[in-house]
C-alpha cells in the first residue's frame, strides 16, 4: 500500500518541476532572428526636455538617446544607449520599444504596449539567457536594467539585438515607433521619444542634423564622430517628432531581404557611432 503513495508523490513532484521549467514563448512562437536589415541605416530617439512623470529625484528630465543602426552583416540591430541625469532614489529603470509613436502632445501613455509581434506579453519576466522567448521590444529585459546605485548619473550600453528589425513592413520594425523609459518597480513611464531616421544609407542623402546639445563625452572606448555624421544627442525640443510611415499592427514572421552593397556613408556612420 505504500508504493502507490510514494509513486504518487514522486509523479506529482515531477509534474510540478516540469511545469516550473516549461518554456515561455509567444503565441506565435519564439522571436525569429532578423536577417537582411538594409545596410547603412541609422535611427535615433532623443528624450525631450521635460519628463512625463514629475516628482522624481532629478532636476528636469533624464537626458539621452538611443541610436540604432544596421549591423554590418544585416543580422539584427546595433544599439547604443546613453542616458544621463538619472533619478537616484526610485530604484532601477527599464526601457522598451513600444508599439506606437509618441503623439504631438508628448503623452507617453499613448505609446501603447511593448513591441511584441509574437504576442509573448510581459509576464513572466524576460529570461535574458533565452532572448528569443522575450518580447522583441524588451531591450532592458534582454540586455540589462539601468541601476543608478551602480552606474551613478550616466548609463551607457552598446549591444546587438538580433530580433529587432529595420525592414519596413515587418512586425519587429521600430523605425516609426518609440521607446519608453520606465521605473522598473511598477513600470511608471518616466519619459519617451520617437525614432527618427538620421542616415538612410544613400550616398545622395546626407545625414540629417541631430537637435539639442551633446551629452557629456562618452567613455574612452568610443570613437569620435567624423564631421557630418550625427552623434547621440542629449536633449531636444519638448515636442517629440512624429515618425513617418505606417505602423504594422499585424504580427509577421521575420523575413530575409537581399542585402545591397554597403555604401561608404553607411560604413562611416556605423563604424563611427559604434566603434566597430
Which of the residues in the chain have pLDDT under 50? 1-5, 7-20, 210-240, 249-269, 271, 276
Q: What backbone phi and psi angles, to 5 degrees, belong to 273? A: -75, -35
Q: How far is the CA of 185 from the CAs of 140, 145, 182, 217, in angstroms?
A: 13, 11, 9, 30
What confidence score (pLDDT) does residue 122 get? 87
CA distance 126 to 180: 17
Per-residue model confidence (pLDDT) at position 237? 35
Cα-based torsion angle of the residue sequence 169, 172, 178, 179 in order, rounded to the nearest 10 degrees = -170
Give the model's pLDDT for residue 7. 43
How far does Cα 113 stand from its chain's mean position?
13
Domains and CATH numbers, the chain: 24-274 (2.60.40.200)
pLDDT of residue 258: 33
* pLDDT for the residue 218: 36
Number of H helices, E strands in the chain: 4, 7
Cell numbers representing residue 66 in the block: 538611443
> Is 129 in a helix, a strand, or coil?
coil
Q: What is the pLDDT of residue 208?
A: 60
Q: What pTM, to 2 d.p., does this model score?
A: 0.72
Amino acid at each position: 500500500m505504500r508504493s502507490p503513495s510514494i509513486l504518487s508523490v514522486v509523479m506529482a513532484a515531477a509534474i510540478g518541476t516540469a511545469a516550473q521549467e516549461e518554456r515561455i514563448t509567444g503565441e506565435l512562437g519564439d522571436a525569429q532572428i532578423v536577417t537582411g536589415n538594409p545596410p547603412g541605416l541609422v535611427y535615433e530617439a532623443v528624450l525631450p526636455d521635460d519628463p512625463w512623470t514629475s516628482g522624481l529625484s532629478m532636476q528636469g528630465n533624464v537626458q539621452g538617446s538611443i541610436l540604432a543602426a544596421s549591423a554590418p552583416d544585416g543580422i539584427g540591430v546595433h544599439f547604443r544607449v546613453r542616458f544621463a541625469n538619472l533619478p537616484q532614489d526610485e530604484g532601477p529603470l527599464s526601457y522598451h520599444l513600444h508599439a506606437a509613436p509618441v503623439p504631438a502632445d508628448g503623452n507617453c501613455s499613448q505609446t501603447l504596449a511593448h513591441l511584441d509581434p509574437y504576442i509573448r506579453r510581459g509576464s513572466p519576466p524576460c529570461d535574458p539567457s533565452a532572448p528569443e522567448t522575450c518580447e522583441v521590444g524588451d531591450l532592458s529585459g534582454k540586455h540589462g536594467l539601468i541601476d543608478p546605485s551602480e552606474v551613478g548619473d550616466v548609463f551607457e550600453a552598446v549591444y546587438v539585438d538580433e530580433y529587432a528589425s529595420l525592414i519596413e513592413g515587418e512586425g519587429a520594425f521600430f523605425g516609426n515607433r518609440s521607446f519608453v523609459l520606465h521605473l522598473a518597480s511598477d513600470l511608471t513611464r518616466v519619459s519617451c521619444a520617437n525614432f527618427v531616421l538620421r542616415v538612410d544609407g544613400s550616398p545622395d542623402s546626407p545625414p540629417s542634423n541631430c537637435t539639442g546639445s551633446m551629452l557629456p563625452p562618452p567613455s574612452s572606448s568610443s570613437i569620435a564622430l567624423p564631421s557630418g555624421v550625427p552623434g547621440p544627442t542629449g536633449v531636444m525640443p519638448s515636442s517629440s517628432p512624429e515618425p513617418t510611415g505606417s505602423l504594422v499592427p499585424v504580427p509577421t514572421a521575420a523575413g530575409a531581404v537581399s542585402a545591397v552593397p554597403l555604401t561608404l556613408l553607411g560604413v562611416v556612420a556605423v563604424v563611427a557611432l559604434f566603434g566597430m
